[in-house]
Amino acid sequence: MTGPPLLEVDGLRVEYPSKAGPTYPVDGVSFSIDRGEVVALVGESGCGKSLTSLALLRLVPNPGRVAPGSVVRLDGQDVGRLENEALRAIRGGRIGLVFQDPNTSLNPVLTIGYQVLEAVTAHRRLGKTEAKQRVLALLEEVGIPDPLARYRSYPHELSGGLKQRVMIAIALAGEPDLLIADEPTTALDVTIQAQILELLERLRATRRMAVLLITHDLGVVAGRAGRVLVMYAGRLVESGPTDRIFSDPAHPYTQALLRSIPRLTGPIDRLAPIAGVVPQSAAWPLGCRFHPRCPLAVPACSSETPPWRATAPGHEAQCWLVEGTR
């Protein structure tokens, strides 16, 4: 890619108050996304992935907030400084968000057509007939059969895969430059998962938009993303091209995630789960936050935050065991 990134995130922190002082479930996250690029943000549940996506749009649930000093730029524009109409133009307009669970995101008492229509008219001034035609075109674009019949349907009348396609249609209504897909294949069977991922890739190519794919499953990432950001306990711990992450993971956490993926070929072995759980943000460990669960930890891991070190161009990890330095 040439030219400046579409999205630049620098030192993003999400702050929540507590009796013992503020906690930071997202703590100093920095990355960028180019136009037309697919970037995957991966990690276990509780690592801060979804909260990161909400923070990009300043949608952090109360009483949390995006901490001062955090920088999110879209096309060079500081999102943190936008208010009212300018901010609404970003939310759902320049950046579309596919929420994790369509069963809780779609209103059960409103028709599918009404809910997509709301998204369309929020970002475009259209007459009633033109707006309805736009909704039908979106439903068709995301692969929903018989759009006119589904326009009149209620969410409970649709399968999980169709409801997820409706969520994607809503996210596309504002013609976004960046689509954030937060666990878009959760609770879907493998066949429907593949269809949804193929749909996202087709939409990215035809619309020339960037995609931030958030998932806990590294298996979903293979062949779908150009770069991978690995997140643990509120921080990024590794970043690099997808093929490098799979062939030569540098951080012990990334290695452990890959060992926990079921294999379809080769000898049948037991899966290797990662011991322990992700800590709570009020009790982040000192040093490398993965060290209490890391079988390779050395004394420095428990007391000092490791520096970012590069293993190859564009591939780096925050680990004392990685050779080379940035």
pLDDT mean for each 10 residues of the chain (326 residues)? 87 95 97 97 95 96 96 95 91 92 92 96 91 97 96 96 96 96 87 92 95 91 93 98 95 93 70 88 95 95 94 95 67
Asked if residue 306 and residue 157 are part of one domain, the reply reads no
Asked if residue 302 and residue 207 are part of one domain, the reply reads yes
User: Which residue range(s) make up the domain with 255?
Assistant: 7-94+176-318
What is the per-residue pLDDT for 268?
65
Asked if residue 297 and residue 185 are part of one domain, the reply reads yes
Task: Please name which of 30, 29, 34 lies closest in space to residue 5, comparing C-alpha atoms.
Answer: 34
Residue 254 in any domain: the answer is yes
Overall residue count recorded for the chain in this entry: 326
Q: Residue 127 corresponds to which amino acid?
A: G
Distance of CA 274 to the CA centre of its chain: 22
Q: What is the spatial distance between Cα 197 and Cα 116, in angstroms, rounded to a whole number?
A: 21
Task: Please name which of 66, 24, 31, 22 lies closest in space to residue 234, comparing C-alpha atoms.
Answer: 24
What is the per-residue pLDDT for 145?
95
86 to each of 89, 91, 326, how far by Cα in Å?
5, 9, 37
Residue with tokens 């794919």: 213
Residue 150 in any domain: the answer is yes
Asked if residue 14 and residue 48 are part of one domain, the reply reads yes
Asked if residue 186 and residue 268 are part of one domain, the reply reads yes
Residue 325 in any domain: the answer is no
pTM for the predicted model, two decimal places: 0.94
Whether the Cβ atoms of residue 173 and residue 138 lie closer than 8 Å to each other: yes
Whether the Cβ atoms of residue 8 and residue 73 lie closer than 8 Å to each other: yes
Asked if residue 262 and residue 216 are part of one domain, the reply reads yes
Q: What is the spatial distance between Cα 216 and Cα 101, in angstroms, rounded to a whole number?
A: 14
Asked if residue 149 and residue 71 are part of one domain, the reply reads no
Residue 1 in any domain: the answer is no
Whether the Cβ atoms of residue 84 and residue 124 lie closer than 8 Å to each other: no
Asked if residue 198 and residue 301 are part of one domain, the reply reads yes
The total of structural domains in the chain comes to 2
What is the per-residue pLDDT for 266?
66
50 to each of 15, 47, 71, 131, how far by Cα in Å?
14, 9, 18, 31
CATH code where residue 229 lies: 3.40.50.300
Asked if residue 192 and residue 75 are part of one domain, the reply reads yes
Asked if residue 182 and residue 275 are part of one domain, the reply reads yes
What is the per-residue pLDDT for 324?
56
What is the per-residue pLDDT for 103?
87
Q: Which of 175, 208, 231 is the last residue of a domain?
A: 175
Half-sphere exposure of 161 (CA within 13 A, CB side): 16
What is the per-residue pLDDT for 325?
43
Q: What is the spatial distance between Cα 102 and Cα 113, in angstroms, rounded to a whole number?
A: 15
Task: Please name which of 161, 272, 263 lies closest in space to residue 219, comparing C-alpha atoms.
Answer: 263
